[in-house]
Amino acid sequence: MSTRRPLRSAVVASVVWPVLLSQVVVAQDAAKVRPAYCAGGWYPGEPAALTKTVDDLLARASPPKVSKKPLALISPHAGYRYSAPAAAAGYACLRGHTYKRVIVLAFSHRNTGRYDGVDVPKELTAYATPLGQVPIDREVCDRLLSNPLFSSNRWVDAREHSLELQLPFLQRVLKDFSLVPLLVGRMSDRDFAATAQAIIPWVDEDTLLVASSDFTHFGPRFGYQPFRENVPNGIRELADQAAAPLARCDYDGFADHLAKTRDTICGRGPIKLLLRIMSMKGGAQGVRTAYDTSGKITGDWSNPVTYQSFVFTQRSGTLGEREHAELLRIARATVARFLKGEQPPKVEADKLPAALRNDGACFVTLENRGQLRGCIGNMEATGPLYEAVIRNAVSACQDRRFVSNPVTAAELDQLHIEISYLTPMKRVVNTDEIVVGQHGLLISLGPRQRGVLLPQVAYERGWTRTEFLAQTCRKARLPLDAWKRPEAEIYSFEAEVFGEPE
């Protein structure tokens, strides 16, 4: 008897313990998947019903035509009854495009004002919806969490809907992608710039940015009634005022709108971070794909909420890829010959594209492993564009700032060449017109005090408009606030910036 009991116990243990261990593993895996908290309430909870709802909305959407691959969206997040048609108009623009990664910028309604920086999930591996699980890009999340501006608090995303409601649309349009879920908290202008700088390395041609936000929340329920009469027209005017800087990808303009109107745009943080990321990558152009209100949907205008969606694409340039490649080839040949003590290359102008033979102004920039080695250009066209590239490439090799450490032939293979093709200068009457990410500046106070900064100098540093103006004054060796003087002359210009592959 005594010899059999241990044997029986061993047999039972050999069966029970693996079962218990598998249950523990399953429980642990389940704990790493964020549940679909809002399914069945904010949007359909049954897979078939949700699929039909989203697919029908996408099929009925008729957004403006977007010819380029979208870089980013702003999409609303109210219950699908209210905001889903507007959201569908934005997501419909993604059809035919693929993305490997989607960075969703959302926020916590329940915890507004209770956390700083950006919240990132630390242990989650996926987000669940009735349509299945969306895997989290753990590499990106873990790298971001090494930055002090990012932190992880599970309570921030508990039962939050602003991010979750975007996922079914992404699942139906994109099918396979990994998710970087970011919930934006309190941040200053400098924080937005630093946070954007941390995210930018992960934003490539296969990455989509989505900012989740409804727009104006009007009425006594929301404590916002800047007007009492003709509410439908009034909130449409507010929507248009907010849309104007968004179309320009204008971080400062959007911030000014919020300060001036106190517009109750709940996702202002995600929108500002989206704008800052895109402006620091050289800007973009936005188009509003839908406008709607709960008042129009229900007929109740006592406490209406506005829903808008936007799609952002790369700004159109004057030159094409062929022109870019030809000018970079000319610049590289010029630099190589100059550093070897030879004359600039002879160019068969009649074989060049017409745009390169037209008058044009440009800057040529030389960098070695990210360090500036020369940057020289002309602000006004004085002859054919290709000749300006040759002339400025030679001058960049002799930039007086590096007279004690000039560019040499030994570093030729390490040099990266960038060209900024400039539009004609335009006198700035109202500095609110200046858009960081789009404009360069020239400020002068008399004929001998003049400073110029290219657009990329401002956007790569994440400057605000005011900082850009001040730093251009510094370049002119003027007081930082000299741009405010009545006699100061301010000009803006745009630059089509293109460079050799990294």
In degrees rounded to 5, what are phi and psi of residue 171? -65, -40
Instruction: Kindly calculate the radius of gyration of the chain based on its CA atoms and give it in whole angstroms.
Output: 27
What pLDDT is attached to residue 15? Answer: 59
Q: Token digits for 268?
A: 């202002």
Q: Which of 395, 406, 314, 411 is nearest to 362 (CA)?
A: 395
Q: What 3-state class would DSSP assign to 431?
A: helix
Q: Token digits for 177?
A: 């992608």
In tens, the pLDDT along 81-111 reads: 999 999 999 999 999 999 999 999 999 999 9
In the 8-state DSSP scheme, what is residue 118?
A: E
pLDDT reading at 252 higher than 60: yes
Q: Break the chain into its structural domains and give their ranges.
A: 32-313, 321-499
Q: Quickly tell me which residue has 């005022």 as its tokens.
A: 241
What pLDDT is attached to residue 1? Answer: 43
CB proximity list for 173: less than 8 A, separation 6 or greater: 58, 91, 92, 94, 95
CA–CA separation, 175 and 172 (whole Å): 6
In tens, the pLDDT along 425-450 reads: 999 999 999 999 999 999 999 878 99
Residue 388: Cβ-neighbour burial (10 angstroms; 0-12, 13-18, 19+): buried
Beta strand pairing call for 371-377 and 72-75: unpaired
Q: Token digits for 383?
A: 């002859």
What pLDDT is attached to residue 67? Answer: 87
Lowest mean pLDDT among 6-15, 62-71, 381-390, 486-495: 6-15
Q: In what order do the strands lie in the sheet with 101-106?
A: 150-151, 118-119, 178-184, 101-106, 207-212, 72-75, 306-313, 285-293
Cα-based angle 66, 72, 76 (whole degrees, multiple of 5): 95
> Is the pTM here over 0.85, yes or no?
yes
pLDDT reading at 29 higher than 80: no
Position 330, amino acid: I
CA–CA separation, 123 and 106 (whole Å): 18
Q: Token digits for 407?
A: 């560019």
Confidence category of residue 3, pLDDT binned at 50, 70, 90 = very low
What size, in residues, is the chain? Answer: 502
What pLDDT is attached to residue 2? Answer: 43
Class of domain 32-313: alpha beta
In tens, the pLDDT along 351-376 reads: 999 999 999 999 999 999 989 999 99
In tens, the pLDDT along 130-142 reads: 999 999 999 999 9
Answer yes or no: CATH 3.40.50.10470 is held by domain 321-499.
no
Helices (H), 167-320: 167-174, 189-199, 231-247, 251-261, 268-280, 294-298
Q: Which of 162, 177, 124 is nearest to 43 (CA)?
A: 162
**Residues paired with 450 in a beta bridge:** 444
Mean pLDDT, to the nearest integer, of 421-427? 93
Q: Identify which has the larger pLDDT, 185 or 316.
A: 185
